[in-house]
Homo-oligomer: A and B are copies of this chain.
Amino acid sequence: MLRLSKRVEYGLVALQHLAKRGDVATVREISDENNISYDLLAKIMQDLKRDGMIYSSQGVRGGYALMLAPNQIPVTRVVDALEDQSTITECTSDHESCTREGACTIQGPMHRLQEQVERVLNSVTIAQLL
């Protein structure tokens, strides 16, 4: 499919929101202002927190905020945090394996492609989304 999941898109929007805000923001605030499903975004935020790029505080006046500077968060990291299958093929992933491996004649080129795609995704950070 070669397509980013909605989870990643929403994650990027949310991180952009946090970056613009500079302060703690609630899921409700982000989901309302950006027309994103509250429940869905709530899950995404939890995943982003698990990764460590944002932190959370529970209870009244709680919410989420960035842990890092916007230019310290490349898109790659967001993709990795929100997507299980973030590689161009199975064989270029380290937690997957393809049954065709060994017989396949395009593994080399695929690895090289993967590298280049990662380079692109690494060169863009949340700071570029502002």
Contact = CB atoms under 8 A, between A and B. Distances in A.
A34 B117 CA distance: 26
Interface in A1-47: 1-5, 9, 12-13, 16-17, 34-35
A75 B117 CA distance: 13
A66 interface: no
A116 B105 contact: no
Contacts of A110: 9
Nearest to A109: B129
A104 B4 contact: no
Contacts of A86: 2
B12 A106 contact: yes
A104 B13 contact: yes
Contacts of A109: 12, 124, 128-129
Interface residues of A, number: 37
Contact of A1 (B5, B9, B16, B123): B5
Interface in A61-104: 75, 79, 83, 85-89, 100, 103-104
Nearest to A116: B120
A79 B2 contact: yes
26 contacts: A1-B1, A1-B2, A1-B83, A1-B85, A2-B2, A2-B83, A2-B85, A3-B89, A4-B88, A9-B89, A9-B104, A9-B110, A12-B106, A12-B109, A13-B105, A16-B105, A17-B105, A34-B104, A35-B100, A35-B103, A109-B128, A109-B129, A113-B120, A113-B121, A116-B123, A117-B117
